[in-house]
Structure 1
Amino acid sequence: MKILLRAATIYDPQSEFHLQQQHILIENGAIAYIGPDEQQADQVIATDGLSVSAGWVDMQAYAGEPGLEYKEDLESLAAAAAAGGFTEVLLLPNTEPVVQTKGAINFIKNRTHALPVTLLPAAAITVDAAGKDLTEMIDLHRAGAVAFTDGTHPLQGADVILKALQYVQPFNGLLMNRPEHTRLTENGQMHEGEASTRLGMKGIPSLAEEVTITRDLQLLRYTGGKLHFSLISTAAAVAAIRRAKEEGLQVSCDVASYQAAFTDETLEPFDTNYKVTPPFRGASDAAAIKEGLRDGTIDAVVSAHMPQDVEAKKLEFDLAEFGIINLETAFAVANTTLELPLELLLEKLTSNPRRILGLPEARLAVGEAASLTIFAPGQTWVPSADKSRSKSHNSPFFGRELKGRVLGTIHKGQLVLNDSF
């Protein structure tokens, strides 16, 4: 099948056509032509503002399969990911059972090989993600684990992190940790500040994130290796990671695309669709996140896709589960709220995640396999629950106008379009 992207603006700093408007012909899953001459094709994709980049990579999303498929299974997650422009997605290991064996890695690979999105398994650092005994990370790496994390369970023990950092160094493995001191966040519902006091909710202090980052960086200095912080949210965290990078430590970090969309003062009180962890914090934290993205301190933007069923969200705020779905809206939310130049935002979705995860580069060049995201950055749209591909509908963005529309993806020889062309 021949697919023509007509007059598409190309975003690929490695390409001679970077920022140019050219016709792109895809034939049998590979890029056959890039240039000014229109080509014959079986399907033509054309729209105002048509743009194309290397396929986007999400470094953090959750699927409930196996064990919790009613929240999200692998097929529905892949459909949501493709609709959101992602061609590769790293899966958290917090399923039932936890992804901690070669069999679990092979299950994900076998179940997803035919899907239009590559789902990358992350394996647990500790058995059952309980924070105590290390898993067989060398065997898991050989089986195909792309990274190691306890996911939704932040590592607490300094001894465990130290041993894990040492354990993965022989194979250059990537350790990921969400910086949260759980004893300091116990029973917390939202950011600790004036708003939480006014609303009578127990707060989640910024300190819980900051002390964990400080400790983990000290361990990284001691052991060497590399460490990635998932979902940072505070100004002090950004500053600490910035200093560590200047020092030369191999540290990277990401932020949820929605982290600066609201603050603790602007979220809808008691609406559980705004209940996330880490929480929406203060205006100064949101400003620091934006600055950290601009100056390169924050490497990647992630969906932090966390589907929750109705029974987990339609409760009193203090009883509801944390998390929102965001695969389909991640780019648009970031494009609308983070105030980044488009080229820089795309870097946080393409080359940086690939570098951190050790994935091959995806290039827009003739002869290369087509792994592309097709989008229109200036078009506006309104997400809605009835059009969502996810099994769960816990999102604060339904009904809100967002700027930046994903049109489709081409990956693994498969074209997925959100609308007819």
Structure 2
Amino acid sequence: MVNNFFPPRTGGSSHLSEALAKGYAAAGHEVLVLTAAYQDAPALEERDGLRIVRLPAWMLPQTRLAVSFDISFTSRPTLLRRVRTLLDDFRPDVIHQHGQFFDLTWATSLYARRRGVPTLLSIHTRLENPRARYAKVFRGLDAIMVKPFMWWAKPKLVVMDVLMQEYVQQRYRGAHSGLVPIPVGIDPEWVLGGNGQHIRERYALGDAPVILSVGHVIPLRDRVALVEALPAVVAAVPDVKLLVVGQIYYPLFQERARSLGVEHAIVAVGKVPKSEVPDLLAAATVESHEQGLGLGTATLEAMAAGVPVVAPARPDNFPGIALRDGENILLCEPGDTRGLAERLIAALTDPAVAKQVGVNGQALIHERFSLSGITDRYLEVLGDMAAARH
């Protein structure tokens, strides 16, 4: 398992990598995790059936292009030799990589090509940015650096939703050995049983209806649409609070809130430990954070907790899985601020609608997104790839 992001670093890719690695180990497989050093996490750790090696890393400098996102890279003169030594000792049958632009993905791809080891690459992030000049830079990086590497390495790609599938087909056509659609998997049980009162007391929320918005604030999830919908929501529900949870790398939503006069309705709490997510969900009346750019782990976890989700997203977001507006989720068109406000108001003021959407969303997660089922699907794909090697 290869990912520059791995706990204790927080984030959807990090937590999914850990959950899958633990699932592989629980199924009886030997699992080595290669990741980047992060804060004071040990360089070598053995737990949950995993051997985790954290390689020395440096942090990407804070720039407008990177939006101050804390990306760690492991590149140094000794990296390839260190990776070769670790993997020659481990002798992997298959390598599962995460992130198409990470140096650990590239380093392990070089090893895999030389040793004839198949690679499965899960793509979590599209190199996109809403600002035109940065979008051109990212498109150039995709064309000049990422696609040539992928064309040479020819990994099999996991695409988690239809937007990622379209992105891959547009940016990386011919630069892979096939696509495998596997949605994000979550444990639907761990989000249950939280203490919502604890959260309400900590952030002085009282009995106010709460729009929970979970996830780091970056350009692709900037919360601007939520803020622009907020004046209409506040007019209908004057005591509503928007609880923004996650590191703020891109503060545009706060500037927009000040200009719209709704800053008083926003509580930004910053990054919190994953262990507090059940408490946050228990305090929520509704969850909303996606900006028409696909539905990720935080959305699915909210649905698993029975919290109604409002999302500007496509009903075909997950190939073969039906998202139905007003039934298991509340959907509006991306960019439709009025529609977003209407659905937030419905969830906040109509308990029957909120309850039914929450119950149906929870059932959908158990049926189609349970981590155990998703892990089995990954193991099936990895097993086929390893068998084809021999």
TM-score scaled to structure 2, two decimals?
0.35
Higher strand share: 1
TM-score scaled to structure 1, two decimals?
0.34
| Larger RCO of the pair (alpha carbons < 8 Å, separation 6+) | 1
